[in-house]
Structure 1
Amino acid sequence: MAEESGTYSRSSCTIESTDGVILDGRIYRPTSEENSSFVAVLVHPYSVLGGCQGLMRGIAKGLSSRGVIAVTFDTRGAGKSSGRASLTGSAEINDVISVCKWVHTNFTTNTIILIGSSAGAAIAGSAVDEVEQVVGYVSLGYPFGFTASILFGRHQKSILQSPKPKLFVMGTNDGFTSVKQLENKLKDAAGHNITHLIQGATHFQMEGPAFDADMVNLILQFITTL
Protein backbone atom coordinates (compact mmCIF):
# COMPACT_ATOMS: atom_id res chain seq x y z
CA MET A 1 0.00 0.00 0.00
CA ALA A 2 1.59 3.27 -1.13
CA GLU A 3 1.16 6.50 0.78
CA GLU A 4 0.36 9.83 -0.84
CA SER A 5 3.47 11.76 0.14
CA GLY A 6 5.77 10.18 -2.40
CA THR A 7 8.63 10.14 0.12
CA TYR A 8 7.85 6.67 1.51
CA SER A 9 5.65 3.63 0.99
CA ARG A 10 3.87 1.47 3.53
CA SER A 11 3.29 -2.27 3.35
CA SER A 12 1.94 -4.94 5.69
CA CYS A 13 3.84 -7.90 7.07
CA THR A 14 3.32 -10.78 9.48
CA ILE A 15 6.07 -11.92 11.81
CA GLU A 16 6.06 -15.13 13.84
CA SER A 17 7.52 -14.87 17.31
CA THR A 18 9.73 -17.66 18.64
CA ASP A 19 6.82 -19.03 20.69
CA GLY A 20 4.41 -19.14 17.75
CA VAL A 21 2.50 -15.84 18.16
CA ILE A 22 1.70 -14.20 14.83
CA LEU A 23 2.40 -10.45 14.92
CA ASP A 24 0.79 -7.97 12.55
CA GLY A 25 3.23 -5.35 11.34
CA ARG A 26 3.82 -2.44 8.96
CA ILE A 27 6.96 -1.47 7.07
CA TYR A 28 7.53 2.19 6.19
CA ARG A 29 10.15 2.41 3.45
CA PRO A 30 11.79 5.63 2.21
CA THR A 31 11.45 6.14 -1.53
CA SER A 32 15.24 6.32 -1.61
CA GLU A 33 17.08 4.04 0.82
CA GLU A 34 20.55 5.03 -0.38
CA ASN A 35 21.30 6.97 2.82
CA SER A 36 19.39 4.69 5.18
CA SER A 37 21.82 2.79 7.40
CA PHE A 38 19.30 2.12 10.19
CA VAL A 39 16.00 0.30 10.65
CA ALA A 40 13.86 1.79 13.42
CA VAL A 41 11.74 -0.77 15.28
CA LEU A 42 8.96 0.98 17.21
CA VAL A 43 7.19 -0.52 20.25
CA HIS A 44 3.78 0.93 21.10
CA PRO A 45 2.32 1.82 24.55
CA TYR A 46 0.58 -0.61 26.92
CA SER A 47 -1.75 -2.86 24.95
CA VAL A 48 -3.86 -3.66 28.03
CA LEU A 49 -5.00 0.00 27.95
CA GLY A 50 -5.54 0.03 24.18
CA GLY A 51 -1.99 0.65 22.97
CA CYS A 52 -1.40 -0.44 19.37
CA GLN A 53 0.97 0.20 16.47
CA GLY A 54 -1.32 2.91 15.11
CA LEU A 55 -0.03 5.17 17.90
CA MET A 56 3.47 4.91 16.40
CA ARG A 57 2.39 5.60 12.84
CA GLY A 58 3.16 9.32 12.85
CA ILE A 59 6.72 8.77 14.07
CA ALA A 60 7.22 5.90 11.61
CA LYS A 61 5.99 8.06 8.72
CA GLY A 62 8.21 10.93 9.83
CA LEU A 63 11.31 8.74 10.06
CA SER A 64 10.72 7.05 6.70
CA SER A 65 10.12 10.38 4.96
CA ARG A 66 13.56 11.40 6.27
CA GLY A 67 15.30 8.29 4.96
CA VAL A 68 15.05 5.76 7.81
CA ILE A 69 13.22 2.45 7.33
CA ALA A 70 10.65 2.06 10.14
CA VAL A 71 8.84 -1.05 11.34
CA THR A 72 5.80 -0.98 13.63
CA PHE A 73 3.86 -3.97 14.95
CA ASP A 74 1.08 -4.94 17.33
CA THR A 75 2.38 -6.90 20.30
CA ARG A 76 0.58 -10.11 21.23
CA GLY A 77 -3.12 -9.65 21.89
CA ALA A 78 -3.23 -6.17 20.30
CA GLY A 79 -4.83 -5.36 16.95
CA LYS A 80 -4.68 -8.31 14.56
CA SER A 81 -1.83 -10.05 16.38
CA SER A 82 -2.58 -13.42 17.94
CA GLY A 83 -1.90 -14.45 21.52
CA ARG A 84 -2.75 -12.74 24.79
CA ALA A 85 -1.25 -9.62 26.31
CA SER A 86 0.58 -10.01 29.62
CA LEU A 87 -0.07 -7.65 32.52
CA THR A 88 3.60 -6.82 33.11
CA GLY A 89 4.81 -6.86 29.50
CA SER A 90 7.09 -9.84 30.18
CA ALA A 91 5.79 -12.00 27.31
CA GLU A 92 5.98 -9.05 24.92
CA ILE A 93 9.78 -8.91 25.28
CA ASN A 94 9.83 -11.98 23.05
CA ASP A 95 7.74 -10.13 20.46
CA VAL A 96 10.29 -7.31 20.28
CA ILE A 97 13.21 -9.73 19.99
CA SER A 98 11.41 -11.69 17.27
CA VAL A 99 10.69 -8.55 15.23
CA CYS A 100 14.32 -7.42 15.51
CA LYS A 101 15.55 -10.83 14.38
CA TRP A 102 13.07 -10.75 11.49
CA VAL A 103 14.45 -7.33 10.48
CA HIS A 104 17.99 -8.75 10.61
CA THR A 105 16.94 -11.59 8.31
CA ASN A 106 14.86 -9.58 5.84
CA PHE A 107 16.73 -6.29 5.37
CA THR A 108 20.15 -5.67 3.86
CA THR A 109 20.33 -2.64 6.14
CA ASN A 110 19.93 -4.25 9.54
CA THR A 111 21.52 -1.92 12.07
CA ILE A 112 18.59 -1.44 14.43
CA ILE A 113 17.54 1.44 16.64
CA LEU A 114 14.88 0.32 19.13
CA ILE A 115 12.25 2.91 20.09
CA GLY A 116 9.61 2.40 22.77
CA SER A 117 6.77 4.59 24.02
CA SER A 118 5.53 4.44 27.63
CA ALA A 119 5.18 0.77 28.64
CA GLY A 120 6.62 -0.02 25.21
CA ALA A 121 9.81 1.73 26.34
CA ALA A 122 10.04 -0.63 29.33
CA ILE A 123 9.41 -3.70 27.15
CA ALA A 124 11.85 -2.56 24.46
CA GLY A 125 14.47 -1.85 27.12
CA SER A 126 14.40 -5.49 28.19
CA ALA A 127 15.14 -6.57 24.61
CA VAL A 128 18.05 -4.20 23.85
CA ASP A 129 20.89 -6.49 24.91
CA GLU A 130 19.17 -9.60 23.56
CA VAL A 131 19.72 -8.52 19.94
CA GLU A 132 23.25 -7.87 18.74
CA GLN A 133 22.08 -5.68 15.84
CA VAL A 134 20.43 -3.15 18.18
CA VAL A 135 22.95 -0.31 18.45
CA GLY A 136 20.83 2.32 20.20
CA TYR A 137 17.67 2.76 22.26
CA VAL A 138 15.15 5.58 22.51
CA SER A 139 12.65 5.84 25.38
CA LEU A 140 9.62 8.10 24.99
CA GLY A 141 8.12 8.49 28.47
CA TYR A 142 9.66 5.55 30.35
CA PRO A 143 7.38 4.69 33.34
CA PHE A 144 10.02 4.91 36.10
CA GLY A 145 7.64 6.21 38.78
CA PHE A 146 6.74 4.23 41.90
CA THR A 147 3.18 3.26 40.92
CA ALA A 148 4.13 2.33 37.35
CA SER A 149 7.05 0.32 38.71
CA ILE A 150 4.63 -2.08 40.38
CA LEU A 151 3.84 -3.36 36.86
CA PHE A 152 6.99 -2.54 34.93
CA GLY A 153 9.76 -2.36 37.53
CA ARG A 154 11.20 -5.73 36.50
CA HIS A 155 12.20 -4.22 33.14
CA GLN A 156 14.34 -1.44 34.60
CA LYS A 157 17.48 -3.41 35.46
CA SER A 158 18.00 -4.56 31.86
CA ILE A 159 18.04 -1.12 30.29
CA LEU A 160 19.88 0.64 33.12
CA GLN A 161 22.68 -1.93 32.94
CA SER A 162 22.90 -1.92 29.14
CA PRO A 163 26.13 -0.40 27.80
CA LYS A 164 24.42 0.63 24.56
CA PRO A 165 23.72 4.35 23.88
CA LYS A 166 20.34 5.52 25.15
CA LEU A 167 18.09 8.56 24.74
CA PHE A 168 15.37 9.23 27.32
CA VAL A 169 12.68 11.73 26.27
CA MET A 170 10.07 12.79 28.83
CA GLY A 171 7.57 15.57 29.44
CA THR A 172 8.24 17.66 32.53
CA ASN A 173 4.60 17.14 33.60
CA ASP A 174 4.65 13.36 33.09
CA GLY A 175 2.14 11.93 35.56
CA PHE A 176 3.94 8.58 35.93
CA THR A 177 7.54 9.74 36.39
CA SER A 178 8.89 12.96 37.84
CA VAL A 179 12.01 14.65 36.47
CA LYS A 180 13.72 13.86 39.78
CA GLN A 181 12.84 10.17 39.51
CA LEU A 182 14.22 10.07 35.96
CA GLU A 183 17.46 11.74 37.04
CA ASN A 184 17.87 9.38 40.00
CA LYS A 185 17.36 6.30 37.84
CA LEU A 186 19.89 7.43 35.22
CA LYS A 187 22.50 8.64 37.72
CA ASP A 188 24.23 5.27 37.91
CA ALA A 189 23.08 3.86 34.55
CA ALA A 190 25.68 2.16 32.37
CA GLY A 191 26.78 3.47 28.97
CA HIS A 192 26.14 6.85 27.37
CA ASN A 193 22.76 8.29 28.32
CA ILE A 194 21.10 11.42 26.93
CA THR A 195 18.04 13.05 28.52
CA HIS A 196 15.70 15.42 26.70
CA LEU A 197 12.82 17.07 28.58
CA ILE A 198 9.75 18.43 26.79
CA GLN A 199 8.68 21.45 28.84
CA GLY A 200 5.07 21.32 30.07
CA ALA A 201 4.17 18.06 28.28
CA THR A 202 2.20 15.37 30.08
CA HIS A 203 2.69 11.64 29.57
CA PHE A 204 -0.31 11.17 27.30
CA GLN A 205 0.20 14.44 25.43
CA MET A 206 3.63 13.22 24.39
CA GLU A 207 2.06 10.04 23.01
CA GLY A 208 -0.23 12.14 20.81
CA PRO A 209 0.34 13.25 17.21
CA ALA A 210 1.11 16.86 18.21
CA PHE A 211 4.58 15.77 19.36
CA ASP A 212 5.37 13.31 16.54
CA ALA A 213 7.52 15.80 14.60
CA ASP A 214 9.50 16.64 17.76
CA MET A 215 10.07 12.95 18.46
CA VAL A 216 11.27 12.36 14.88
CA ASN A 217 13.77 15.22 15.11
CA LEU A 218 15.12 13.99 18.45
CA ILE A 219 15.47 10.42 17.17
CA LEU A 220 17.29 11.57 14.03
CA GLN A 221 19.64 13.73 16.10
CA PHE A 222 20.35 10.75 18.35
CA ILE A 223 21.07 8.53 15.33
CA THR A 224 23.79 10.94 14.19
CA THR A 225 25.64 10.27 17.47
CA LEU A 226 25.74 6.48 16.98
Structure 2
Amino acid sequence: MDDQVLHSLSNTLLSQGFHVVRFNSRGVGRSTGRASFTGLPEARDLQDVVQWSMNQVPNVGTLALVGYSHGCLPVLLHPLHPQVHTVHILISFPLSPLPLLTAFHSSTYTSALSALTSNPQARVLILYGDRDQFTAVGKYHSWVNAFKANSVDCVQVAGGDHFRRGEAGAEMRNTVKEWLNHH
Protein backbone atom coordinates (compact mmCIF):
# COMPACT_ATOMS: atom_id res chain seq x y z
CA MET A 1 0.00 0.00 0.00
CA ASP A 2 2.82 2.41 0.82
CA ASP A 3 5.10 1.25 -1.96
CA GLN A 4 6.73 4.16 -3.81
CA VAL A 5 5.59 2.86 -7.24
CA LEU A 6 1.96 2.73 -6.11
CA HIS A 7 2.23 6.08 -4.38
CA SER A 8 3.52 7.78 -7.53
CA LEU A 9 0.86 6.09 -9.66
CA SER A 10 -1.81 7.22 -7.22
CA ASN A 11 -0.81 10.82 -7.81
CA THR A 12 -0.97 10.26 -11.58
CA LEU A 13 -4.44 8.70 -11.32
CA LEU A 14 -5.69 11.45 -9.02
CA SER A 15 -4.49 14.08 -11.49
CA GLN A 16 -6.56 12.30 -14.16
CA GLY A 17 -9.72 12.58 -12.05
CA PHE A 18 -9.75 9.03 -10.69
CA HIS A 19 -10.67 8.14 -7.13
CA VAL A 20 -7.89 5.96 -5.74
CA VAL A 21 -8.15 3.17 -3.20
CA ARG A 22 -4.95 1.53 -1.94
CA PHE A 23 -5.00 -1.17 0.67
CA ASN A 24 -2.66 -3.71 2.20
CA SER A 25 -3.12 -7.35 1.39
CA ARG A 26 -3.77 -9.74 4.23
CA GLY A 27 -0.95 -9.91 6.71
CA VAL A 28 0.88 -6.87 5.31
CA GLY A 29 1.40 -3.78 7.45
CA ARG A 30 -1.43 -3.44 9.96
CA SER A 31 -3.90 -5.56 8.00
CA THR A 32 -5.29 -8.67 9.59
CA GLY A 33 -5.13 -12.22 8.34
CA ARG A 34 -2.34 -14.21 6.81
CA ALA A 35 -1.07 -14.39 3.26
CA SER A 36 -2.50 -17.39 1.46
CA PHE A 37 0.48 -18.04 -0.84
CA THR A 38 -1.95 -18.89 -3.66
CA GLY A 39 -3.32 -15.35 -3.99
CA LEU A 40 -6.88 -16.60 -4.39
CA PRO A 41 -8.28 -15.20 -1.10
CA GLU A 42 -6.45 -11.92 -1.83
CA ALA A 43 -8.22 -11.77 -5.21
CA ARG A 44 -11.58 -12.14 -3.42
CA ASP A 45 -10.50 -9.39 -1.00
CA LEU A 46 -9.80 -7.11 -3.96
CA GLN A 47 -13.22 -7.85 -5.42
CA ASP A 48 -14.83 -6.97 -2.08
CA VAL A 49 -12.85 -3.72 -1.82
CA VAL A 50 -13.77 -2.78 -5.39
CA GLN A 51 -17.45 -3.51 -4.76
CA TRP A 52 -17.42 -1.45 -1.56
CA SER A 53 -15.62 1.40 -3.35
CA MET A 54 -18.07 1.34 -6.25
CA ASN A 55 -20.90 1.70 -3.73
CA GLN A 56 -19.19 4.78 -2.23
CA VAL A 57 -18.62 6.67 -5.50
CA PRO A 58 -21.66 7.28 -7.71
CA ASN A 59 -21.49 7.26 -11.51
CA VAL A 60 -18.10 5.63 -11.99
CA GLY A 61 -17.20 5.79 -15.68
CA THR A 62 -13.97 3.78 -15.67
CA LEU A 63 -12.65 1.23 -13.22
CA ALA A 64 -8.86 1.07 -13.46
CA LEU A 65 -7.39 -1.93 -11.69
CA VAL A 66 -3.66 -1.44 -11.20
CA GLY A 67 -1.37 -4.18 -9.97
CA TYR A 68 2.33 -3.89 -9.33
CA SER A 69 4.56 -6.95 -8.96
CA HIS A 70 2.77 -9.48 -6.73
CA GLY A 71 -0.24 -7.12 -6.75
CA CYS A 72 -0.76 -8.02 -10.42
CA LEU A 73 -2.09 -11.40 -9.35
CA PRO A 74 -5.35 -10.35 -7.64
CA VAL A 75 -5.86 -7.68 -10.32
CA LEU A 76 -5.53 -10.33 -13.00
CA LEU A 77 -8.32 -12.39 -11.40
CA HIS A 78 -10.69 -9.42 -11.17
CA PRO A 79 -13.41 -9.74 -13.82
CA LEU A 80 -14.61 -7.00 -16.11
CA HIS A 81 -17.31 -4.98 -14.39
CA PRO A 82 -20.66 -5.54 -16.14
CA GLN A 83 -21.73 -1.86 -16.13
CA VAL A 84 -18.45 0.05 -16.00
CA HIS A 85 -15.60 0.32 -18.49
CA THR A 86 -12.84 -1.75 -16.85
CA VAL A 87 -9.13 -1.57 -17.59
CA HIS A 88 -6.34 -3.72 -16.16
CA ILE A 89 -2.83 -2.33 -15.72
CA LEU A 90 -0.11 -4.82 -14.82
CA ILE A 91 3.28 -3.39 -13.85
CA SER A 92 6.38 -5.55 -13.37
CA PHE A 93 4.38 -8.76 -13.60
CA PRO A 94 6.34 -11.38 -11.59
CA LEU A 95 6.69 -13.77 -14.51
CA SER A 96 9.76 -15.76 -13.45
CA PRO A 97 8.93 -16.13 -9.75
CA LEU A 98 5.21 -16.79 -10.43
CA PRO A 99 5.27 -20.51 -9.51
CA LEU A 100 6.94 -19.77 -6.16
CA LEU A 101 4.73 -16.77 -5.38
CA THR A 102 1.56 -18.79 -5.94
CA ALA A 103 2.59 -22.04 -4.24
CA PHE A 104 2.70 -23.64 -7.70
CA HIS A 105 -0.81 -22.45 -8.66
CA SER A 106 0.56 -20.37 -11.53
CA SER A 107 -1.75 -22.07 -14.05
CA THR A 108 -4.66 -20.25 -12.38
CA TYR A 109 -3.06 -16.95 -13.32
CA THR A 110 -1.91 -17.92 -16.80
CA SER A 111 -5.44 -19.16 -17.55
CA ALA A 112 -6.95 -15.94 -16.19
CA LEU A 113 -4.54 -13.86 -18.26
CA SER A 114 -5.36 -15.85 -21.37
CA ALA A 115 -9.11 -15.42 -20.79
CA LEU A 116 -8.74 -11.70 -20.09
CA THR A 117 -6.50 -10.96 -23.04
CA SER A 118 -8.67 -12.92 -25.46
CA ASN A 119 -11.81 -11.02 -24.40
CA PRO A 120 -12.47 -8.34 -27.05
CA GLN A 121 -13.96 -6.03 -24.41
CA ALA A 122 -10.88 -6.16 -22.19
CA ARG A 123 -8.33 -3.37 -22.18
CA VAL A 124 -5.00 -4.40 -20.70
CA LEU A 125 -1.70 -2.55 -20.32
CA ILE A 126 1.40 -4.53 -19.41
CA LEU A 127 4.47 -2.50 -18.40
CA TYR A 128 7.84 -4.11 -17.84
CA GLY A 129 11.41 -2.88 -17.62
CA ASP A 130 14.39 -4.10 -19.58
CA ARG A 131 16.40 -4.32 -16.34
CA ASP A 132 13.92 -6.15 -14.12
CA GLN A 133 15.75 -7.96 -11.30
CA PHE A 134 13.31 -10.89 -11.23
CA THR A 135 12.39 -11.55 -14.87
CA ALA A 136 14.84 -11.32 -17.77
CA VAL A 137 13.79 -9.01 -20.60
CA GLY A 138 14.05 -11.90 -23.08
CA LYS A 139 11.48 -13.84 -21.07
CA TYR A 140 9.18 -10.80 -21.05
CA HIS A 141 9.62 -10.43 -24.84
CA SER A 142 8.60 -14.05 -25.43
CA TRP A 143 5.68 -13.68 -23.07
CA VAL A 144 4.25 -10.45 -24.50
CA ASN A 145 4.55 -11.68 -28.10
CA ALA A 146 1.61 -13.96 -27.35
CA PHE A 147 -0.61 -10.90 -26.79
CA LYS A 148 0.15 -8.97 -29.98
CA ALA A 149 -3.08 -10.01 -31.73
CA ASN A 150 -5.30 -9.15 -28.76
CA SER A 151 -6.40 -5.87 -27.23
CA VAL A 152 -3.32 -5.76 -25.03
CA ASP A 153 -0.73 -3.01 -25.02
CA CYS A 154 2.70 -4.13 -23.87
CA VAL A 155 5.27 -1.43 -23.15
CA GLN A 156 8.90 -1.98 -22.33
CA VAL A 157 10.37 0.81 -20.20
CA ALA A 158 13.97 1.44 -21.20
CA GLY A 159 16.24 1.34 -18.17
CA GLY A 160 13.33 0.23 -16.01
CA ASP A 161 14.03 -2.13 -13.19
CA HIS A 162 11.46 -3.88 -11.05
CA PHE A 163 11.20 -0.93 -8.68
CA ARG A 164 10.68 1.91 -11.22
CA ARG A 165 13.07 4.50 -9.84
CA GLY A 166 14.15 7.73 -11.50
CA GLU A 167 13.41 8.38 -15.15
CA ALA A 168 11.95 4.89 -15.61
CA GLY A 169 9.33 5.79 -13.00
CA ALA A 170 8.47 8.99 -14.83
CA GLU A 171 8.17 7.09 -18.11
CA MET A 172 5.90 4.53 -16.43
CA ARG A 173 3.61 7.27 -15.08
CA ASN A 174 3.50 9.04 -18.45
CA THR A 175 2.74 5.77 -20.24
CA VAL A 176 -0.13 5.01 -17.85
CA LYS A 177 -1.50 8.56 -18.20
CA GLU A 178 -1.40 8.49 -22.01
CA TRP A 179 -2.82 4.97 -22.18
CA LEU A 180 -5.74 5.89 -19.90
CA ASN A 181 -6.45 8.98 -22.00
CA HIS A 182 -6.55 6.77 -25.08
CA HIS A 183 -8.75 4.10 -23.53
Same fold (TM over 0.5): yes
Aligned to 1:33: none
Is it true that 1:60 corresponds to 2:10 in the alignment?
Answer: yes
Aligned to 1:69: 19
Aligned to 1:158: 112
Unaligned runs of 5+ in 1: 1-52
- Structure-2-length-normalised TM-score: 0.81
TM-aligned CA deviation for residue 179 of structure 1: 2.8
Aligned residue for 1:139, secondary structure, equals strand
The residue type equivalent to 2:2 in the other structure is G
Counterpart Cα distance in 2 of 1:212 and 1:201 = 7
- Residues 77-135 of structure 1 show CA distances to partners (whole Å, capped at 9, x for unaligned) of 122222111223221101111111112211114220100000101221111x2643461
- Residues 131-186 of structure 1 show CA distances to partners (whole Å, capped at 9, x for unaligned) of 434611111100112x4333342322212221211111111011322333223333
Is it true that 1:97 corresponds to 2:55 in the alignment?
Answer: no
- Structure-1-length-normalised TM-score: 0.67
Aligned 1:144-183 pairs, distance under 5 A: 144-145=95-96, 147-152=97-102, 153=106, 154-162=108-116, 163=119, 164-183=122-141
Aligned residue for 1:136, secondary structure, equals strand
Cα distance change on mapping 1:69 and 1:213 into 2, 3 Å: farther
**Which protein is richer in strand relative to its size?**
1
Contact persistence 1:138–1:166 (CA under 8 A) = yes
The percent of aligned pairs where both chains have the same amino acid is: 23
Q: Would you identify which runs of 4 or more consecutive aligned residues in structure 1 move more than 6 Å?
A: none
TM-aligned CA deviation for residue 222 of structure 1: 1.4
Contact persistence 1:62–1:213 (CA under 8 A) = no
Unaligned runs of 5+ in 2: none
TM-aligned CA deviation for residue 192 of structure 1: 0.5
Counterpart Cα distance in 2 of 1:143 and 1:199 = 18
Structural RMSD (CA): 2.2
Aligned residue for 2:36, secondary structure, equals coil
Aligned residue for 2:125, secondary structure, equals strand
Aligned residues: 170
Is it true that 1:115 corresponds to 2:66 in the alignment?
Answer: yes
